[in-house]
Chains A and B, each alone.
Chain A
Amino acid sequence: MVDEKELRDVVKKTISRDDVKYVVGYEKGTYGFQATPCFAYKPEDAEKFIFSPLCVHNLTVFPMLEEKPPLRKGEEPDTRKIGVVVKGCDSRAIVQILQEKGLERDKVVIIGIPCSGVIDPKKIEAKFPGHIKKVEVNDEDDKFAVTVDGKTQKIPKDELMPEKCKTCEYPNPVLYDILIGKEIKSKKKEDYKKVNAFEKKSMKEKWDYWEKQFEKCIRCYACRNACPLCYCKECMVDQLNPQWVRRSVNLSENTAWNLLRAFHLAGRCIGCEQCERACPMGIPLMKLNKKIEKEIKEMFEYEAGISAEEKPLLAMFKPDDPEEFIL
């Protein structure tokens, strides 16, 4: 469990620095099982900050989402840093962005929190439907202690954790300026069990499955906006000339969008599951991302979001890349 006092002190210290514009963290949501992103511009704002298993969001989207309007005459560009509170998986997103040179290292202050797993909002919502009052959730070794209406229930972590946490190999931030609490050890390993199981299905079964999933898609692009790595200035679905994906919502265009989205994240997706969390229609988008992740690991022995110095996967090559045929 993270010491929230330590977190608030660190945030207060960070925001008091002259070269920091704001710090993004989590605060208690307005109702139910919610934590919402919270911005601290003044040292007093730090009092709102929390960290609990309900803090599922990947806050690294915020430095990337920030709009930079054209400067007025005589105006100086704002070169101050942005502070971000990150968990293990979120820190990998930052590393990946740094690797692609989407951000400069000295433009962010990374406040790292070792995380032993969060709660999937959809799963807890299904267990305690329609809760409007605020609730307490605490992390207790292998259980979550959920306090609803004054009664505390202990629920095994496996029942509430999202898939990513069950196989998380990086509970500690890969990159940070300030670490809160102690690093934790994890023995979990990604074994791609689900990917392997899906691979064994026949072509027909696979297509029937995806047809059903993509028919649901309403193309709200929430998956894109929640993704810390979807930060192109102009997304290819918004392009009109050439228009890769037409505006109409039908199976053919939905399939095209979901395929292109997943492939654009090839070698970049760090598996924070934000796309799936944001999807209002419950499409298992991570299935696509995981498949690509597995193939990359097998073919090119590469993992996204580990080292900021390495070159991006698809921008480099090795002479011993696998070949299908001999020349």
Chain B
Amino acid sequence: MKDFEPNIIGFLCNWCSYAGADLAGTSRMKYPPNIKSIRVMCSGRVDPIFILEALKKGADGVLVAGCHPGDCHYQSGNYKTNRRIKLLKKFLEEMAVNPNRVRFEYVSASEGAKFATIVTEFVDELKKMGPNPLKDVKV
């Protein structure tokens, strides 16, 4: 399992986190290429169904990133996502999926460095966890 490269789906909010990821890129910060970013207009757009679908299709981790509390472009989207994801994590635990495969972070547009560290950290964590068990569920 040494050369296991986790596959991460990142749902990044248009106003903060995607710009933050952009900044990490334009300022040439180094972070692992395992994350596949999907831009959403708000982290509140992320329905738990998206996360479950990603895990079902074999993603090893899902990162949802939104604006800092109080900074949401749509006032309260990130607060609602916070609730949803917290609940989803508890639920995944019950369903024998490691809840740390799902991560919710606040990344603002100026936090390119934070984004890079989050991704690096997440990849390391997932490497320790190993591949997603749902990937091997026989069809």
Grouping DSSP codes into helix (H, G, I), strand (E, B) and loop, the B interface class, with mixed when no group exceeds half, is helix
Residues of chain A from 201 to 217 with CB closer than 8 A to chain B in the complex? 203-204, 206-207, 210
Asked whether A207 lies within 8 Å of B133 as measured between CB atoms, the reply is: yes
| A163 to B133 Cα, complex, angstroms | 32
Kindly supply a per-residue 1/0 record for chain B positions 56-95, scoring 1 wherever the CB is within 8 Å of any chain A CB and 0 otherwise. Answer: 1000000000001100000010011011101110110111
Asked whether A321 lies within 8 Å of B82 as measured between CB atoms, the reply is: yes
Q: Does any Cβ of B come within 8 Å of A64's Cβ?
A: no
Asked whether A236 lies within 8 Å of B49 as measured between CB atoms, the reply is: yes
| A260 to B86 Cα, complex, angstroms | 16
Asked whether B94 lies within 8 Å of A291 as measured between CB atoms, the reply is: yes
Q: Does any Cβ of B come within 8 Å of A315's Cβ?
A: yes
Q: Does any Cβ of B come within 8 Å of A54's Cβ?
A: no
Q: Does any Cβ of B come within 8 Å of A296's Cβ?
A: yes
Asked whether B137 lies within 8 Å of A314 as measured between CB atoms, the reply is: no
Q: Which of B48, B69, B93, B139 contacts A263 (CB 8 A)?
A: B48
| A327 to B91 Cα, complex, angstroms | 25
Asked whether A266 lies within 8 Å of B98 as measured between CB atoms, the reply is: no
Kindly supply a per-residue 1/0 record for chain B positions 120-137, scoring 1 wherever the CB is within 8 Å of any chain A CB and 0 otherwise. Answer: 000000000000011001
CB distance from A37 to the nearest CB of B (A): 32
Asked whether A206 lies within 8 Å of B68 as measured between CB atoms, the reply is: no
Q: Does any Cβ of A come within 8 Å of B23's Cβ?
A: no
Chain A residues whose C-beta falls within 8 Å of the C-beta of B52 in the assembled complex: 256, 259-260, 263
Q: Does any Cβ of A come within 8 Å of B2's Cβ?
A: no
Q: Assuming the A-B contacts A317-B82, A317-B83, are A255 and B88 also in contact, with contact meaning beta carbons closer than 8 angstroms in the complex?
A: no
How many residues of chain A have a CB within 8 Å of chain B? 39
How many residues of chain B have a CB within 8 Å of chain A? 29
Q: Does any Cβ of A come within 8 Å of B28's Cβ?
A: no
Asked whether B95 lies within 8 Å of A292 as measured between CB atoms, the reply is: no
Asked whether B49 lies within 8 Å of A251 as measured between CB atoms, the reply is: no
| A262 to B90 Cα, complex, angstroms | 13
| A198 to B53 Cα, complex, angstroms | 25
Chain B residues whose C-beta falls within 8 Å of the C-beta of A206 in the assembled complex: 94-96
26 inter-chain pairs at a CB distance below 8 angstroms, sorted by A residue, are A198-B94, A203-B96, A204-B96, A206-B94, A206-B96, A207-B96, A207-B133, A236-B49, A248-B139, A251-B138, A251-B139, A252-B56, A252-B139, A255-B56, A259-B52, A259-B95, A263-B87, A267-B87, A288-B91, A291-B90, A291-B91, A295-B87, A313-B83, A317-B82, A321-B79, A323-B82
Q: A256-B52, A292-B91 are in contact. List 6 more A-B contacts (CB 8 A).
A: A244-B49, A250-B138, A291-B90, A295-B87, A313-B83, A317-B83
Instruction: Point out residues on B near A: beta carbons under 8 Å.
Output: 48-49, 52-53, 56, 68-69, 76, 79-80, 82-84, 86-88, 90-91, 93-96, 98, 106, 133-134, 137-139
